[in-house]
A and B are shown apart, each in its own frame.
Chain A
């Protein structure tokens, strides 16, 4: 079976790769492009660990074929920071200790970044619903939500709330 030749923009860079039809986007990112920040949790679209942004919408890369990226813009966890400067969501995850084992973290950060791309004023309820497809078995979500809400506040230009 011949491989498909795919041209896409990944983290702002034009990328070409070859993949087989049954390879998921997650397989392509990790195994062909060496972008191993994106994690495979469940492999069935339930846990959100493999979240990437495709043309502005978050998707589970385990439920997308690599060949489907043809002509599209993809952002992975590797594309969230600007060089050495962390995205506010990443910085706030560190400050609030919003991770323990860290396996779900790339998915949470990508999903939260996409939320804040659409609104800088999410209510906590909106943020919780937005992130309902990201599972974390360590933190209990509270610190994650604090980090996301604090990142939103910072991006709105507000000072961090007094602890």
Chain B
């Protein structure tokens, strides 16, 4: 790998100062499972790596004021093995679990998956569906941004110089609220999504949907919140008419590319199928959360 400087600050302020003062390209590292691959391939040539894992709170899970708060650099394995997290947000954990191998899970983080800014990032749709918030530290202090505001295009984020994500705040689910994530890949493991779909729904006592978010990955330059899919669900039970409207809305939201994993037509069709399947799982789970 090309020469690089490395620091591991122990406070948020020191990390912000180092990132803001860097003369060349400075990259934030949590698990490094994308960063080091891109450095080895020559795609990225940072002058400085700022490792955030030694900052207190960057690794860890806590509950506070109606939110579950997850440190930005917490490894996937730590999150997957947390039974409470898996029970509360099964869809988020399903998405996270699909990132890479067991080895990658030992290091990969939610913040890294988000800031690598791949349209196919598996942990992102369910985070957005859950209305998760990113807490961003920067030269002018901390600010909060919805997760969907971070990625602006393939490999691009809205983070400014000196900024990095310190933690995610995920609202505690209400009664009869739950989520699910499904992705389609041509094999069973170790591949990148052809389509990913995260769904988060809230039901009333009769099984009628009162709130919903349907989010698609890998079908556009960024993750897509399908507003019309949510509209198709809210006020309805999960019958055939609702599923058809949902399917049509999901397909209409797709602006995919042709590549080796799927054509535009194929991805669009699969998006509708996955939206229906994921929503059915989310409904079933939500109904059981009375």
Measured CB to CB, the residues of A under 8 A from B are: 1, 4, 20-24, 43-46, 48, 51, 54, 57-60, 62-65, 67-68, 70, 111, 129-134
A65/B36 in contact, CB under 8 A: yes
Write out the residue numbers on chain B whose beta carbons fall within 8 Å of the beta carbon of A67.
6, 8
9 A-B pairs within 8 Å (CB atoms) are namely A1-B5, A22-B1, A24-B1, A45-B36, A45-B103, A46-B190, A63-B107, A68-B32, A132-B189
A111/B36 in contact, CB under 8 A: no
Give the CA-CA distance A70 to B8 in the complex, in Å.
Answer: 10
Give the CA-CA distance A63 to B109 in the complex, in Å.
Answer: 14
A43 CB → nearest B CB, Å: 6
B15 CB → nearest A CB, Å: 15
Give the CA-CA distance A70 to B54 in the complex, in Å.
Answer: 10
A65/B6 in contact, CB under 8 A: yes
Give the CA-CA distance A58 to B4 in the complex, in Å.
Answer: 25
Chain B interface residue count, CB cutoff 8 Å, equals: 30
Q: A1-B5, A63-B37 are in contact. List 15 more A-B contacts (CB 8 A).
A: A21-B3, A21-B4, A21-B6, A44-B41, A45-B37, A45-B101, A57-B106, A63-B33, A63-B104, A67-B6, A67-B8, A70-B8, A129-B102, A133-B103, A133-B190
Give the CA-CA distance A52 to B4 in the complex, in Å.
Answer: 24
Residue B163 is within 8 A (CB to CB) of chain A in the complex: no
Most buried by B among A51, A63, A65, A132: A63
B102/A21 in contact, CB under 8 A: no
Smallest Cβ-Cβ distance to A22: which chain B residue: B1
Q: Can you list, as one digit per residue, whether each of B104-116 has a CB less than 8 Å from chain A (1) or not (0)?
A: 1111000000000
B3/A59 in contact, CB under 8 A: no
B186 CB → nearest A CB, Å: 15
Q: Can you list, as one digit per residue, whether each of B205-247 has a CB less than 8 Å from chain A (1) or not (0)?
A: 0000000000000000000000000000000000000000000
Give the CA-CA distance A58 to B104 in the complex, in Å.
Answer: 8
Residue B77 is within 8 A (CB to CB) of chain A in the complex: yes
B99 CB → nearest A CB, Å: 11
Write out the residue numbers on chain B whose beta carbons fall within 8 Å of the beta carbon of A60.
33, 103-104, 107
Tally inter-chain residue pairs, CB-CB below 8 A.
88
Residue B255 is within 8 A (CB to CB) of chain A in the complex: no
Write out the residue numbers on chain A whose beta carbons fall within 8 Å of the beta carbon of B5.
1, 21
The 4 closest A-B pairs by CB, nearest first: A133-B101, A21-B6, A57-B106, A132-B189
Write out the residue numbers on chain A whose beta carbons fall within 8 Å of the beta carbon of B51.
65, 68
Smallest Cβ-Cβ distance to B2: which chain A residue: A22
Smallest Cβ-Cβ distance to A4: which chain B residue: B6
A133-B32 contact, Cβ under 8 Å, with A21-B6, A21-B49: no
B155 CB → nearest A CB, Å: 17
Residue B100 is within 8 A (CB to CB) of chain A in the complex: yes
Give the CA-CA distance A56 to B49 in the complex, in Å.
Answer: 25
Residue B75 is within 8 A (CB to CB) of chain A in the complex: yes
Smallest Cβ-Cβ distance to B32: which chain A residue: A63
Tell me the B16-53 residues at the A interface (CB within 8 Å): 32-33, 36-37, 39-41, 49, 51, 53
A58/B102 in contact, CB under 8 A: yes
B40/A58 in contact, CB under 8 A: no
